[in-house]
Chains A and B, each alone.
Chain A
Amino acid sequence: MAPGGGGMTEAAPNQWLRPWARGFRDAAMLPAWIVGLSLMGVGTLARDVGYPVEAAVLSTFLVWAGPSQVLFFASIAAGAAWSAIALAIGFASLRFLPMTVSLLPLLRRPGQSVAQQMLIAHFVAVTAWVEALRRLPNIPPEQRVGYFLGFANALIVVSAFCTYAGFHLAGIVPTPVAAGLLCLTPIFFLSSMVAGVRGLGDAVAIGFGLALAPVAGWAIGGGFDLIASGVIGGSIAFLIQRWRKARKAGA
């Protein structure tokens, strides 16, 4: 039982404002700046293809998925077909389905509206998800939604600021630093993917993805090359992982 719990009016600030503020502060301490750093490159990429800064910042608020945003601007730069861009982004974002499905039960409240669940779901992205799964179980259930929203809001606000900064910095810094801003995204993605490797399957998927993309780009092109290399690399990784599991189960 929550201390002093009961009446809605009495409990409301405790359930929303304080957990929200605590979540916001926890994220603004460090995680938000790490995400922000990865989205700084998105601003630089957007500028590179001639899109306005508003579109770059809006992409952080509305898309809220670094890989999708990078795919969007980088594919435009590469001249991919629009259908190929949407398909690649759809595939890269499929991971949000299992991620969101596994997070929602932690944040479920009696009588929760669909609108509130959709709001929560919108904030699901790698960092918010990883941190929420780690932190939420230690927070009283009635404070979790407030805490999660505060945490996610800090991530998205800091990241929007960084996207804006990345766009404008690209125009004023010396060329080597501008190159460094553009390289933030690949370095950050690869580093966090390698840090998140949980088994042979993950490692194989990364290896094949890196190796196949240039080959597919040469053989297929047109933007569908990324999807092809992803499906082939991911499927090989999946088969290897299944095969290993079956062997372990059989031994």
Chain B
Amino acid sequence: MTQPIAFLDGPWWPYLALVLFAVLPTEIWRWLAVAFARKLDENSPWLEWVRLVATSLLAGVVAKLVLAAPGALAGVPLAVRLAALAVAVTIVLAWRRVMLAVLVGEVVLIGGAIWLS
């Protein structure tokens, strides 16, 4: 668990941390887009690289959340977590239906958790 920065700690810390480390690094790109919208070429290879790095980063988040699972999810066997992901991906590849994939993946996970506990 990441601890608060000592001299900024207090009852407002969660909100301060949220604004400093989540809102600003996210919102800045939207503001920069407004500032540079007329100058940037949206097809430049630089932006393509950025998009692929972001995609890879997000896939990494998925892997971390499933492998080093937080809270109650940690109590579900790893095989069940991986099976839920695999089923969801298979459904997306076969039918392109994200909602259906999420629902069936959840059924596999919750079902597996009940069955194996």
Q: State whether B72 touches A179 (Cβ < 8 A).
A: yes
CA distance A203 to B18 in the complex (A): 32
CA distance A202 to B76 in the complex (A): 30
CA distance A235 to B45 in the complex (A): 12
Q: Does A5 contact B (CB under 8 A)?
A: no
Q: Does A16 contact B (CB under 8 A)?
A: no
Q: State whether B71 touches A238 (Cβ < 8 A).
A: no
- Taken residue by residue from 53 to 96, chain A's Cβ proximity to chain B (1 for < 8 Å, 0 otherwise) reads as 01100110011110111111011111111100111111111111
Which listed segment binds B: A135-143, A152-160, A211-219? A211-219
Q: Does A49 contact B (CB under 8 A)?
A: yes
- Taken residue by residue from 2 to 37, chain B's Cβ proximity to chain A (1 for < 8 Å, 0 otherwise) reads as 100100000000110111111111111111111011
Q: Does A184 contact B (CB under 8 A)?
A: yes
Q: Does A165 contact B (CB under 8 A)?
A: no
Q: State whether B59 touches A63 (Cβ < 8 A).
A: no
Interface size of A by CB at 8 A reads: 106
Q: Which residues in window 178-237 of A have CB below 8 A to B?
A: 178-180, 182-195, 201-202, 205-214, 216-217, 226-227, 229-235, 237
Interface of A is mostly: helix
Chain A residues lying within 8 Å of B45, measured Cβ to Cβ, are 238, 242
> Chain B interface: which size bin?
35 or more
Chain B residue with Cβ nearest A59: B18
CA distance A209 to B30 in the complex (A): 25
Chain B residues lying within 8 Å of A207, measured Cβ to Cβ, are 59
CA distance A118 to B66 in the complex (A): 36
Residue of A69, A97, A191, A205 near B33 (CB, 8 A) is A97
Chain A residues lying within 8 Å of B50, measured Cβ to Cβ, are 94-95, 97-98
Chain B residues lying within 8 Å of A242, measured Cβ to Cβ, are 45
Q: Does A243 contact B (CB under 8 A)?
A: no
Chain B residue with Cβ nearest A86: B21
Q: Does A1 contact B (CB under 8 A)?
A: no
Q: State whether B60 touches A229 (Cβ < 8 A).
A: yes
CA distance A208 to B54 in the complex (A): 12
CA distance A205 to B106 in the complex (A): 25
Q: Does A32 contact B (CB under 8 A)?
A: no
Residue of B21, B52, B93 near A237 (CB, 8 A) is B52
Chain B residues lying within 8 Å of A51, measured Cβ to Cβ, are 14
Known A98-B50, A180-B113, A230-B57; further 13 A-B contacts with Cβ < 8 A: A62-B23, A63-B26, A68-B22, A69-B22, A78-B68, A90-B28, A91-B57, A101-B42, A179-B71, A179-B109, A187-B101, A217-B64, A226-B60
Sampled A-B contacts (22; CB under 8 Å): A50-B1, A71-B61, A72-B18, A75-B2, A79-B2, A80-B2, A81-B2, A91-B57, A98-B51, A101-B37, A118-B31, A122-B30, A175-B113, A183-B81, A187-B84, A187-B88, A188-B98, A205-B52, A209-B63, A210-B62, A230-B53, A237-B55
